[in-house]
Structure 1
């Protein structure tokens, strides 16, 4: 009886020892795997936003300290990890496009303090002084001259600090004799000749100055014909400014379609909205997304 108990005990001891040996061999591999892998959240998504945010913030803003981080470090971390750790690290827009979309949104929103910082960021990530000026000018027909003038008041000192000589080189291609005809030509190129001809023909007599003349000559003649930004970039800036301004859903839909007409993709527009999201909030972003979906419905299988 004693021998049977002893034998059973020895069997259990050997099995336990074998399990310990196996665990000891496996433990270093497991530890190494945990060291090499990025932390994940409950859904398995990479949580490496902190390092990415630090790298991208330095790329865009250099070593400029964040005043918000001094007083409200948690909110600053939320902002920076969303903007620089996620949004600006993905999507179809290059850094120049994302920078100009940002400037358009801030101009429309009249967020002048961040506009100053982002003007410097735009220069740092490959936008030129002329790109920045044309972006702000392009906003004028949609957000009004006072907002653009206020934006220029904070942006121009940044351009000068980076070596730009003001005023910058002229980029107009029209004069008093050609601005209306050239504006109509650009409108037709973007929206289609039939649509523009009907718009002008059907404008009520008392409203023709706004609908048929100021729109064509000022908005399209004076602005869309300028050099530096091509039609694709001008339409992306226009769409961004309109969405950021808010309350302009018909115009947002029209310019979402116009973007596609000149060669931007639906995903370009969605990614521009993502860039603007931290600047304008979810309501205006979702309104912009609704405008995009109305103008360019999703492909269904």
Structure 2
């Protein structure tokens, strides 16, 4: 099977008979995209189809290329992702891209769900209480980054502790990382993808590359996630993130 045949087979697996509106007006552009993504990238590496779609959804949300969100939500359901998994992947974006951008993506997903008769809201995935969110978040944070968190807290100036200690541990890790629907390894992989797609976040990309290693994701997992995002975020951000991975993770 050649590249063009693989591209068509894989495109249909994700999207059925649906075609890009640009296929008629800009067929060469769409052919380049589909032959790269579905003829070369998809089917290689360590990610399965469900992981690929989660990575793609958060990359679209982070880069705010929302025109494709509905089609990719349909594709995510087609390859077996549950509504809960799709929603949790997008919720994971909120600490990194902010609530307004996250909500813009979620609204489009909700339209797809409504059209398919998927009940909203879904079952709550929250696990923390107002009393436990800081404690549980700190535990999740340490599960990823270890004792470095204690050192960071100790060195944070008093006037910055709300942001660097309380909001980070209680909200980012307590409210988000402890939720059901996705396991810790998947959430940390998606976080790496989200901040890589944003660009200009190399310090955080390096930290989360190490965090991924700490929770059991391999260097190749991260490389394959970057390859999946490449057609959506372009080479500069992909290469910057790859440089961060190479800086902190040894070749396996």
**TM-score between the two structures when normalised by the length of structure 2:** 0.98
Matched, 1:51 2:14: no
Extract structure 1 runs of 4+ deviating beyond 4 A: none
Matched, 1:149 2:68: no
**Offset of 1:199 from its aligned partner?**
1.0
**Offset of 1:293 from its aligned partner?**
0.5
Equivalents in 2 of 1:291, 1:121: separation in Å? Answer: 30
Equivalents in 1 of 2:40, 2:151: separation in Å? Answer: 45
Corresponding residue for residue 221 of structure 2:
268
* Structure 1 gaps, min length 5: 1-37, 39-47
**Offset of 1:287 from its aligned partner?**
0.5
Corresponding residue for residue 199 of structure 2:
246
Corresponding residue for residue 45 of structure 1:
none
Corresponding residue for residue 87 of structure 2:
133
Matched, 1:232 2:185: yes
Whether the aligned pair in 1 keeps the contact of 2:54 and 2:86 (CA below 8 Å) is: yes
Which residue of the other structure, out of 141, 146, 161, is the alignment partner of 1:208? 161
Corresponding residue for residue 71 of structure 1:
25
What SS class does the counterpart of residue 57 from structure 2 fall into?
helix
Corresponding residue for residue 148 of structure 2:
195
| Count of matched residue pairs | 252
Corresponding residue for residue 178 of structure 1:
132
Equivalents in 2 of 1:88, 1:161: separation in Å? Answer: 28
Equivalents in 2 of 1:62, 1:129: separation in Å? Answer: 19
Equivalents in 1 of 2:114, 2:244: separation in Å? Answer: 38
Offset from partner CA, 1:75-112 (integer Å, 9 cap, x none) = 01000111111111211001111100000100000011
**Offset of 1:202 from its aligned partner?**
1.3
Corresponding residue for residue 95 of structure 1:
49
Equivalents in 1 of 2:113, 2:238: separation in Å? Answer: 29
Please list, as runs of the form range in 1=range in 2, the aligned pairs for 1:14-25 lying within 5 A after superposition: none
Q: Which structure's CA Rg is the greater one?
A: 1
**Offset of 1:161 from its aligned partner?**
2.1
**Offset of 1:182 from its aligned partner?**
0.4
Superposed CA RMSD in Å reads 0.9
The structure showing larger relative contact order (alpha-carbon pairs under 8 Å, at least 6 residues apart) is 2
**TM-score between the two structures when normalised by the length of structure 1:** 0.82
**Offset of 1:295 from its aligned partner?**
1.3
What SS class does the counterpart of residue 176 from structure 1 fall into?
coil
